[in-house]
Structure formats: C-alpha cells, structure tokens
Amino acid sequence: QKEVEQNSGPLSVPEGAIASLNCTYSDRVSQSFFWYRQYSGKSPELIMSIYSNGDKEDGRFTAQLNKASQYVSLLIRDSQPSDSATYLCAVNVRGATNKLIFGTGTLLAVQP
Amino acid sequence: GAVVSQHPSRVICKSGTSVKIECRSLDFQATTMFWYRQFPKQSLMLMATSNEGSKATYEQGVEKDKFLINHASLTLSTLTVTSAHPEDSSFYICSARDSEKSTDTQYFGPGTRLTVL
C-alpha cells in the first residue's frame, strides 16, 4: 500500500461546479496535511494546510480531515477553468527531518 | 512572504559536465531545505533533505556522490549534479521550511529544468 494515495484522474467538472479531490494515507501518526496545486511545467504551490479533524475553509477551497478514516479531501467551489491543474496531497512523516510524502496527484480539468 | 527562488530556471549541458543549482529562501530563514526531482507525468520524488551546517540526508537510491548538496547558510542550499548524463534530465525542485515557524509547511521554488545532451 502506498503511503499517500490519490486517484490520478482526470477528474472533469463543468465550470461553476464543486470539484472534490480525495486522498488517503497509511501512517496513523501523521499530523500535518497539505494540498498543493501544480500547473503543467511549474512547481507546486501551497493551497492549504490542515492539522485538526474537521473542515477548514479558505475562499473557494475547503479542506476536510478525518484522522480516524485516514482521509483528507479538498473541495473547490465554483470551479474555474484556471483551477485546471494537478492537485497534490502531502502528509508529513514525523521524525528528525519532518519530510513530506506526496501522492501522485489528481489531474483536475474544469470544462468551460 | 515565504518566497523561494531557484537559479537557473533552465539549463542545457553536455554529458559528463557538472551543473550547480541554487535554492534561496528570500524572506525567511530555512534551516531545512529539500530537493526533489520530477520526471514527466510523475509525482515529486524526494532526493535529499538539506540541513544548514551539516551533511544532507539522502533518500534510498540517491547517490550522494553524484548529487552533491551544500547548505552553507540559512538562506541558500545548492545541488550539484556531477558528471551529468541524459538520464539525469529532469525537473529539479527545491523547497524550504521556515525556521521561525513550527509547522511542516514547505514552500517550493520555481524549479530548474535540466536537459543533458
């Protein structure tokens, strides 16, 4: 089992719809969870971080964390064509280096 | 805030030459920086963790003598790809953690696209 799993997609949604991106992780002691957006040919940019169970909202983005189910999701409301990108889920690995483990990403395509 | 730069953004070199890539945190200090490599249509693969003032920690399968990392200051880490070969052609991305904050958040540089002929 991979440490961080995401559906590779593509996830296609119409403009204005809600896009739902999901991620599961295997390490129960993980404490920090991140969503990054990566446009083709560019480096990742941070969208949101979440540390506690429940929802965290920032503009059109809502991150949801359920540690019991080892599940983290990202909802994008009012999806725009400019949201079309690969969304990477990242989970920390506690230890000396506190490094992040990235999922393979979900490609989101918002259709105008 | 939390801006990370990389230089160069793109480099083309001949096989057998060495290439140095710089990663700088512009508005924060970074005790820890990370170096990733990304091949087309694949996810980020962590190569090594760069620690200011000490040796880097390399991931399994990454040759430390081929990918030399130096983190001599709180704002600069360098990755040198020695004796580069075409299979080293990739997108190299660094990230940095803000030393003043307790979070694990990593801020990424814009990446360096290396092409070895």
pLDDT at A96 over 60: no
Residue A90: its chain B contacts at CB < 8 A? 106
Question: What are the pLDDT digits (tens) for A5-23?
Answer: 999 889 999 999 999 999 9
Q: Provide the 3-class DSSP secondary structure of residue A81.
A: helix
Whole-number pLDDT of residue A88: 96
B7's tokens: 């230089």
Band of pLDDT at residue A27, cut at 50, 70 and 90:
confident
Whole-number pLDDT of residue A95: 63
Cross-chain residue pair A104–B42, CB shorter than 8 Å: yes
Whole-number pLDDT of residue A73: 97
Residues of B with CB under 8 A from a CB of A: 32, 34, 42-44, 46, 49, 57, 93, 97, 103-111
Whole-number pLDDT of residue A11: 96
Cross-chain residue pair B57–A97, CB shorter than 8 Å: yes
Q: Which helix (H) or strand (E) holds A46?
A: strand A45-50
**Residues counted in chain B:** 117
Residue A96: its chain B contacts at CB < 8 A? 57
- Tell me, what amino acid is at B79? L
User: Bridge partners of A50?
Assistant: A33
The residues, any chain, with a CB within 8 Å of residue B41's CB and separated by 6 or more, are: none
Cross-chain residue pair A104–B103, CB shorter than 8 Å: no
Cross-chain residue pair B108–A44, CB shorter than 8 Å: yes
A95's tokens: 């230890």
Whole-number pLDDT of residue B98: 86
Whole-number pLDDT of residue A1: 63
Helices (H) then strands (E): counts for chain B: 0, 11
In chain B, which residue ranges form alpha helices assigned H by DSSP? none
A70's tokens: 């080892």
Question: What are the pLDDT digits (tens) for B85-103?
Answer: 999 999 999 999 988 877 7
Test mutation, B44, B55, B59, B94, chain A, max A CBs within 10 A: B44
Residue A8: its chain B contacts at CB < 8 A? none
Query: How would you list the strands of the sheet with B19-25, edge to edge?
Result: B4-7, B19-25, B76-81, B67-73
> Across B18-97, where does the E strand assignment appear?
19-25, 32-38, 45-51, 57-58, 67-73, 76-81, 90-96
Residues of chain B with pLDDT under 70: none
Band of pLDDT at residue A42, cut at 50, 70 and 90:
very high
In angstroms and rounded to an integer, the radius of gyration of the C-alpha atoms of chain B is: 13
Band of pLDDT at residue A92, cut at 50, 70 and 90:
confident
